[in-house]
Amino acid sequence: MKIPLAAVGCSSIIAQIVLMRELIATFYGNELLFGLVLMAWLVWVALGSWAVARLAVFRWLRERAFAGGLILAGILLLAQMALVRDVRALLGVTPGAFVELGPMVSAVILILAPLSVLTGCLFTLGARLTVERSGSVGPAYTWASLGAGVGGALFSVPLVRWLDPFQIVLLVGITNLAVAVTMLKEPPQGVSRILGGERRFAPLPNLLLTLGKGRSWQVRWAAVKFFVLFFALVAIALPFGRYLHQVTLRWQWTDLAFAADSPYGRLIIQARDGQRVFFENGLLAFETQGTFPEEVAHFPLLAHPAPRSVLLIGGGVAGDLREILKHPVTDVVYVELDSVLIEAAKVHLPPADAAVLSDPRVTLILTDGRLYVKQLSGANQAISLPSNLFDGPDGPFDVVILDLPEPATGALNRFYTREFFAEVQSVLSPGGVFVLGLPSAENYWSPELARRNGSVYHTLQTAFPEVLVLPGEHNFFLASDMPLEDNPAILAERLVERGVETRWVTPDYIRYLFTTDRFEAVRRELEATAGVRLNGDLTPICYYYDLALWLSRFYPELRRAYDSVNLIDLAWGGVPLALGVVWVRWRRRWAVPVAMGTIGLTGMILEVVILFAFQVLHGYLYAEISLIMTAFMAGLALGAAVSNRRLERRPLSPERWAKSALLGVQSTIAIYSVAFVVILRWPIPVPTLVFPLLALLAGGLGGMAFPLAVMLVRREGPAGRVAGLLYGADLVGGCLGALLGSVILIPVLGIPYTCVVVALVALAGLLALV
């Protein structure tokens, strides 16, 4: 059962990632959606695991049922992918528009249910079959985790870069089919006929050996035909998957001119009567022929008396570069994360807009903008990057323009923190101007909008003594270390003197914007939020504020709940943890499942914390992020293997040893969590090595716990039932950790106090076991 269980883990993690990316491209991809998808997936897997655990006494669920489940998993994944592509049409929501929270939650929960329930069923069934063959349930967890690690690595490196989503889905289905056929002693009659009547099959590793010496020519010929059939199906799947990808995209998008998936999301381009509309992950990014880039570029450039060097982070292909080059600048460094966006823009933008990318004054840098600024500022000299990353000017810059979406996620929040603003200030020349924009409102500001924009405003003031805010539906925050020019006559004169031709930002518009009563009203509104919390790398409160603002659009009555969550501190968690420990010590039979739940919860929060801290310190680089996730899954497999190996040596009192080891795991998790905070205070020389190792250790601690917990409760029922119940408890804890960690704990408490919460939960699990 090793290969079949590994296939379950591999196909499960690939399905989870593919469906997650599809749902993000369909709905609004903020931290709430990430947590919701993970929570729904893990809860359904837990329910499936528990369901088969209750049915473990029925012996008719054997290899054929497992093989059928593998084949069904491939079919369900294909059907669920098609459903996600059509869900907007089913909900009656046009492309690019927000989907209300209620329909979004319902869609996510229902779409993920079939495959995730089946995954839980397959694990528990596989665990029972493993016990029947080897006498131990621990290897089932090891091989499933190992398969998940391999699946994560395959998706992160070759699959997502070279294949479309439907091609990946079809390959998963074909692989599951191959594993299902090879694990059966007698394959279905049709398959047997294709393979020349050879009905005795061996597991996949043995099937490979049939090509060697010592086998009859009939057996070797059957194996050859099996592999020929497998690769023939793969050859058919690749073009067919490409066809399905294009057809289902057109269910969502009319006038589709271009569609591509990159490691960072999905890019869609619509062509309408000469206009091009760009969507990223389902949301409107920009459209050609618009005037918004004029406001992004001209106000900061006019605020500087003689701008020569400019750093632009994002927005270049949206028109910002075109407008910047209308000024007498000599050097423009344009930093963009996604190379797919650049290549698509060169082809689909109007020729005049695409030509600016080849202007000799422009240096294009493909990397994370935060990482680029950090390196230029010298904020973390321990970071080592290729020297050719900085072929352009290395500062100081006269103007720095940040044109990115609002801080809706942890990855975007990094561009709105005290630390980033200080780094920007260090790469500006004396009197240099920094600008960023946030969505706003012309007249009424809700408390949530005031809190989000106010947090950025006051955080910006920690690095820049002078901050000027322009009113409108989009507030532009201009910042400098010297007084900013706010005389509209001077700004209008500079526009005319430089010969800048515009459609929107005209001298009359400049005079109106700086003299309207809204100019002072916006400043007063922001100053009134003086008590708002400042946004930091390790205390990313701003993306919680943005999440509250987004939710208030659909459920304004939750305003009081937002304020209550904002007041959470460590004392709030102490009371329920203490009550939980008292209840578990009263109901002793729940001690081990609760301990597994706490380990699942702490492990998931630690994974989220490690990912978030890596992005803060090193930038959002997809390959490295995927490496951390793969290292965590590999740690689960390695930890389970270590526990299994120790238990196989049959200590004199295995239950007592298992309990001591499980207490040691809980203690180590608590120590690890506190130590992680200390590590973040030190210079980290090689983040791309250190953080995967930290993830490997965190995963290893979680993986060690499962075989130990099974040993402690092995006498309480059939092995399959015990494994299913403990696996479900682990997943329920993980789902709570995914939602609480990403949506509440990290943004509200910050990373250091979140690690303290993890330590307290681990200690509570320890006390429940003692």
What b/e sequence results for 397-408 when a residue is b if at least 16 CB atoms lie within 10 Å of its CB, and e otherwise?
bbbbbbbbbbbb
Question: 660: which 2 tokens?
Answer: 């001591």
Helix count (H) and strand count (E) of the chain? 30, 11
- Active site (annotated) includes residue 403: yes
Under 8 Å between Cβ of 747 and 174: no
Going by the DSSP 8-state scheme, the letter that residue 749 receives in this structure is I
**Residues whose CB is less than 8 angstroms from the CB of residue 523 and which lie 6 or more positions away in sequence, other chains included:** 469
**Residues whose CB is less than 8 angstroms from the CB of residue 231 and which lie 6 or more positions away in sequence, other chains included:** none
Q: How far apart are CA 267 and CA 283, in angstroms?
A: 10
Q: How far apart are CA 701 and CA 584, in angstroms?
A: 22
**Residues whose CB is less than 8 angstroms from the CB of residue 515 and which lie 6 or more positions away in sequence, other chains included:** 488
Query: Which H/E stretch holds residue 267?
Result: strand 265-272
Under 8 Å between Cβ of 592 and 769: yes
Under 8 Å between Cβ of 452 and 445: no
The DSSP-derived string for 314-337 is S-IIIIIHHHHTTS--SEEEEEES
Question: 120: which 2 tokens?
Answer: 């839980």
Q: Is 287 exposed, middle or buried (0-12, 13-18, 19+ CB in 10 A)?
A: middle
Closest by Cα among 611, 592, 602 to 759: 602
CA torsion angle 48 50 51 57 (round to 10): 130
Question: 527: which 2 tokens?
Answer: 């100053």
List the beta bridge partners of residue 312. 334, 401
Question: End-to-end distance of the chain based on CA atoms, in angstroms?
Answer: 35
E-strand stretches of 441-575: 466-470, 474-480
CA distance readout (Å), 376 to 40, 434, 674: 42, 15, 31
Closest by Cα among 592, 576, 586, 587 to 766: 592
Q: How far apart are CA 570 and CA 204, in angstroms?
A: 51
Q: How far apart are CA 501 and CA 495, in angstroms?
A: 8
Rg of the chain over all Cα atoms, to the nearest angstrom: 28
Going by the DSSP 8-state scheme, the letter that residue 621 receives in this structure is -
Q: How far apart are CA 148 and CA 150, in angstroms?
A: 5
Q: How far apart are CA 426 and CA 374, in angstroms?
A: 10
The number of residues in the chain equals: 770
Under 8 Å between Cβ of 630 and 156: yes
Catalytic residue, chosen from 261, 353, 403, 546, is 403
Give the distance, in angstroms, between the CA of residue 582 and the centroid of all CA atoms in the same chain.
36
Q: Is 239 exposed, middle or buried (0-12, 13-18, 19+ CB in 10 A)?
A: exposed
**What is the amino acid identity at position 460?**
L
Q: How far apart are CA 390 and CA 371, in angstroms?
A: 12
Q: How far apart are CA 181 and CA 308, in angstroms?
A: 67
Residues marked active site are found at 403
